[in-house]
Amino acid sequence: MIELNNVIKTYTTRLGVITQALDSINLALPEVGMVFVLGKSGSGKSTLLNLLGGLDRADSGQILMDGENLSTKSNKDLDAHRCHTVGFVFQDFNIIEHYSVRENIGIAMELQGKPIDQKHIERTLETVGLKGFEHRKGNEVSGGQKQRIAIARALIKQPRLILADEPTGNLDSETSDQIMHLLKEVSKETLVVVVSHDPEEAQQFGDRIITIKDGRIAKDEIIQETYEQYSKTKEIKGFLKLSSSFKYGIHALRPKRLQLVMTSMLLTFSLMISNLLGAYLHFLSNPEERLGNGFQIQAIVQDLQGYLSQTNAEVLIIGTYVLLVGIFYVFLSISVEQRIKQMGIFKAIGARHHDVLKIFVWEALLLGFSSFVLSSLMAYTYLLDINKKFYDGLQVLSLYQAQLIFHGVLSLILPSLFIVSLTLNTLRKNSVISILKES
């Protein structure tokens, strides 16, 4: 049983205008059935759905599920609530376009800590009429099929509550009718709450119709009583496996491969220059270590400093490190900004902060590792060529081992710290619903 007691929710715009979205809502919802919430735009329908799903918090009042108040739960507990108890079906689908249908559905299971059950996925896809679409990408299917993916993603979690916000708003009449019949069938065993503008649709499919006006309940009409009761679902705080986070993290890079390659090239060039300068400075600091006490040392040192003085080399290597930090920060800032939508989707289906971080951090690690390896190989090859051409193969200049270790650590740790801090900052500053709206 879900109960709302004197729930109030207000929003303040950037200009400081206060809007009363919900005003003293009192409501009790059954365990199963199809409940429609009607009302004009801005009446508070979607806000009610967001509060029930833990996407946002009420300013005051209680939202009780099995006696537990959602309004006082921690963010981690709300994540678990969305992960195990709630399935969302959004008007704009909120699927990840470059994931396959199977991946869009499977991630909901993996966030619950469950292994991928291919047979369960196939049965669910068959239920929503998408059998045979497992390997299609989200951007390769129609709007109606995207909505079916969203429904399948909700069903695969076996939730107690499905929240559908204008689920047929972007669909043609035939597809809309199919979607509503599907949700009606699901409502025989699960509570389905549907926000809609269509009173005829509500009369045809609804067991109960709640009309909201100016943030208050104007009408509450029971069309058909529902009696079945279900036991409380235990919310187990699952975790996303490292292998799964790698899979979803790497797949998320598909749309921006060119951007990734170009950034990697810039980083590779910066690290290679740092390696060359490091080899040069290391030789100048102790040339005898490389060549022994021979008469050639002084001539070689003078020859090298004729091209580049030690002071200028030190300034340049500092500059390359500043450039390196700047490239990492700018690219990852843009990347996090581009992936805010993904962040919101992951959170909406129950991902914890650390799940999102695990998915996102693979990009930073891949970028840093590839740049480090390529720059080291290029610098090594270039130094071999210099020694062969100008010093008859003598090992005058060679990669400085301590610097290589420093570069390896820097290339992995620095971008990881950046992407973790940028992602956490976004998650902590915004509610889930605000992330979805702004993206």
Q: CB-based contacts of 402: which residues, under 8 Å, 6+ apart? A: none
CA–CA gap between residue 139 and residue 409 (Å, rounded) = 38
Residue bearing tokens 């249908």:
101
Condensed to tens digits (0 to 9), the pLDDT of residues 113-139 reads: 888 888 999 999 998 889 899 999 999
In the chain, the percentage of residues whose pLDDT exceeds 70 is: 92
**Domains, the chain:** 2-239 (3.40.50.300), 249-438 (no CATH)
Positive or negative torsion for Cα 266, 267, 268, 270: positive
The answer to whether the CB of 83 falls within 8 A of the CB of 238 is yes
Q: CB-based contacts of 366: which residues, under 8 Å, 6+ apart? A: 250, 253, 260
CA–CA gap between residue 157 and residue 53 (Å, rounded) = 14
Condensed to tens digits (0 to 9), the pLDDT of residues 387-436 reads: 787 777 677 778 888 999 999 999 999 999 999 999 999 998 888 888 88
The per-residue pLDDT for 400 is: 85
The per-residue pLDDT for 235 is: 55
| pLDDT for residue 274 is more than 90 | yes
Mean pLDDT of the 168-194 span: 88
CA–CA gap between residue 88 and residue 85 (Å, rounded) = 10
What's the chain look like in SS3? CEEEEEEEEEEECCCCCEEEEEEEEEEEECCCEEEEEECCCCCCHHHHHHHHCCCCCCCEEEEEECCEEHHHCCHHHHHHHHHHCEEEECCCCCCCCCCEHHHHHHHHHHHCCCCCCHHHHHHHHHHCCCCCCCCCEHHHCCHHHHHHHHHHHHHCCCCCEEEEECCCCCCCHHHHHHHHHHHHHHCCCCEEEEEECCHHHHHHHCCEEEEEECCEEEEEEECCCCCCCCCCCCCCCCCCCHHHHHHHHHHCCHHHHHHHHHHHHHHHHHHHHHHHHHHHHHHHHCHHHHHCCCCHHHHHHHHHHHHCCHHHHHHHHHHHHHHHHHHHHHHHHHHHHHCHHHHHHHHHCCCCHHHHHHHHHHHHHHHHHHHHHHHHHHHHHHHHHHHHHHCCCCCCCCCCHHHHHHHHHHHHHHHHHHHHHHHHHHHHHCCHHHHHHHC
HSE, CB side, 13 Å, CA atoms: give it for residue 186.
30
Query: Which amino acid, 139?
Result: N
The answer to whether the CB of 63 falls within 8 A of the CB of 96 is no
Condensed to tens digits (0 to 9), the pLDDT of residues 292-318 reads: 655 566 666 666 666 778 888 899 999
Q: CB-based contacts of 365: which residues, under 8 Å, 6+ apart? A: 412, 415, 416
Q: Which neighbouring-strand residues pair with 2?
A: 29, 65
CA–CA gap between residue 249 and residue 412 (Å, rounded) = 16
CA–CA gap between residue 180 and residue 188 (Å, rounded) = 13
The per-residue pLDDT for 308 is: 76
CA–CA gap between residue 423 and residue 344 (Å, rounded) = 11
299 vs 208, which has greater pLDDT?
Answer: 208
- pTM for the complete prediction? 0.85
Q: How many residues does the chain have?
A: 439
Condensed to tens digits (0 to 9), the pLDDT of residues 35-53 reads: 999 998 888 999 999 999 9
